[in-house]
Amino acid sequence: MKMKKFILPFAAFMAVASSATAQWIYVGDSELGFLDYGNYYRSTGASININNYSHDGHTAFYTTSAFEEAAETPGFDYTYPWMGIGEYSGAENGMSPLEISLPSTNNKDMGGWYADQRIQTVFSFGGGKHLTISLGSADSSDDNVTYYTAAFQVVLENTDSSVSVVRAADAAQTSFNVNADNPINIYSGTANFGTRDTGALDSVRTNILRISSGAVLNTYVKSFEVEVGNGSRDATVAGVWNFQVAEIPADGALISIAGNCSTQGGMINFDFTDFNLSEGVYDLISADGGFSLNGSPDDLSMDFGIIGLDPEKIDLSISSDGTLLQLAVVPEPAAAAILSAALALILSFSRRRK
């Protein structure tokens, strides 16, 4: 792909960058990835904040004017600009790279990236394309790497396309996180946060979570929180959310939601394949605003699935105050029978002594 590259004088760039119609496309693939402003291009005629892969007769992102190379990383003026990563058409056709790096946390002054700035990012690729965002780098001295973003929006052609945020294979950091202070919206396609092949992410935090009908979210994370900011902080799952359990927390739930958890039209599956749970009660979801279900609290099979555990040893229920989804692990029937027999013998022996 060939693009005409030129850099506007900084004063002129400041004047046009604040335009409400300015939109951004991610083009380059340097080792700095998101931290390299040379990878960003702007177009005043671009439609980026889309929610359908095909829209208004166009595919993915569309522009009526040429892209111009950035003179600074988008968001330096704290305007939460929209950025597109994927396929685009119009003045210059092309596609963003399928591998992007974030070698270190992006909320501090580093390579032109200023503290606390955010970009509202929309990912949009056609069928069979898989984008990977790798967190961390081999030469980092940091303990953690966090991908800070505003909206994180996935609008793929279908579920055989995916966007994945994963740990870099050679990363020196020990903690890997995603923090979205605007909604995470999975409108279509498949999104992955962490994978079993690359390792679990430590946390994903967001303001609102939406998974539309037909969309899939796969997570392999130690903690997922829908608690950022002051909005509704709801989780609405009309598609499928597959939650691969990476860690059993000593305190608290696997998923924490400050608002309502809705599974109407959708399903949340918990995969405990890597665990042999002992007898006890485990908090799976904490939802301060309660639950909106497909079925009823007496039959949760239409809303939640449990994978990797013997169905005869578990019981799912909503707590009496309506704010917790809890998993009870009970003894195996044979073990329970042995225990009952032992208690009966003890009782019988006690009576004989009397």
> Residue 124 falls within a domain, yes or no?
yes
> Residue 24 falls within a domain, yes or no?
no
Give the pLDDT band of residue 94 (cuts 50, 70, 90).
Answer: confident
Q: Is 253 left (phi over 0), alpha (psi -120 to 50) or beta?
A: beta
> Residue 211 falls within a domain, yes or no?
yes
pLDDT digits (tens, 9 = 90+) for 189-225: 999 999 999 999 999 999 999 999 999 999 999 999 9
> Residue 53 falls within a domain, yes or no?
no
Task: Give the max Cα distance, the chain.
Answer: 100
> Residue 80 falls within a domain, yes or no?
no
pLDDT digits (tens, 9 = 90+) for 111-158: 444 455 678 999 999 999 999 999 999 999 999 999 999 899 999 999
> Residue 40 falls within a domain, yes or no?
no
Domain that holds residue 348: 96-353
Please give the pLDDT value at position 129: 96
Report in angstroms the alpha-carbon separations of 79 from 19, 70, 137, 226, 327.
10, 15, 29, 23, 43
**Averaged pLDDT score across all residues of the chain:** 86
- pTM of the predicted model as reported, rounded to 2 decimal places: 0.86
Side chain identity, residue 134? S
54 has pLDDT over 90: yes
Number of compact structural domains in the chain: 1
CA dist., res. 54 & res. 233, Å (int): 29
- Mean pLDDT within 19-46: 85
What would the DSSP string read from start to end of 309-351? S-GGGEEEEE-TTS-EEEEEE---HHHHHHHHHHHHHHHHHHH
Q: Which residues contact 141 (CB under 8 A, 6 or more apart)?
A: 172
45 has pLDDT over 90: no
> Residue 52 falls within a domain, yes or no?
no
Query: Of 306, 307, 328, 258, which Cα lies nearest the Cα of 286?
Result: 258
> How many residues are there in the chain?
354
Q: What are phi and psi of 40, to 5 degrees?
A: -110, 140
> Residue 75 falls within a domain, yes or no?
no
